[in-house]
């Protein structure tokens, strides 16, 4: 999956929706919408783990809802990053993928040095 292409597609859908319903997507909206989606993901997780009411949903419906909410959070992270000019591919490469190929000792040394 190409994050830049996906981000372009998600932005187009979000902008169209916001225009249609009259939502201003300002700096605060991008962060608060992500927070809203995290709340919905938390609710779906609690239902999935039996820590919240199932609201009459079947196991399959609960699992589907959980997956949908994970996707919503991903899309809103992409929107937030795009809005603020964050190069997600670059940041993921520097922060996460840089660990590939390192020995456990190299990784431990790096973590200790950054603390």
pLDDT tens digits for range 42-98: 999 999 999 999 999 999 999 999 999 999 999 999 999 999 999 999 999 988 898
pLDDT at residue 106 tops 80: no
pTM of the model: 0.86
Whole-number percent of the chain with pLDDT over 70: 97
* Domain co-membership, 75 together with 94: no
User: Residue 105's pLDDT is what?
Assistant: 76
User: 4: number of CA atoms within 13 Å, CB side?
Assistant: 5
Q: How far apart are CA 39 and CA 51, in angstroms?
A: 15
* Domain co-membership, 70 together with 18: yes
Range of the domain at 16: 3-84
Number of domains, the chain: 2
Q: How far apart are CA 19 and CA 30, in angstroms?
A: 15
């Amino acid at each position: 999956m190409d994050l830049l292409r996906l981000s372009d597609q998600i932005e187009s859908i979000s902008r169209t929706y916001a225009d249609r319903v009259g939502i201003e997507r300002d700096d605060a909206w991008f962060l608060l919408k992500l927070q809203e989606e995290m709340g919905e993901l938390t609710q779906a997780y609690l239902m999935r783990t039996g820590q919240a009411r199932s609201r009459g949903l079947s196991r399959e419906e609960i699992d589907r809802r959980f997956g949908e909410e994970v996707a919503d959070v991903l899309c809103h992270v992409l929107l937030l990053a795009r809005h603020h000019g964050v190069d997600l591919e670059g940041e993921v490469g520097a922060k996460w993928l840089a660990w590939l190929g390192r020995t456990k000792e190299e990784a431990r040394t790096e973590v200790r040095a950054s603390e």
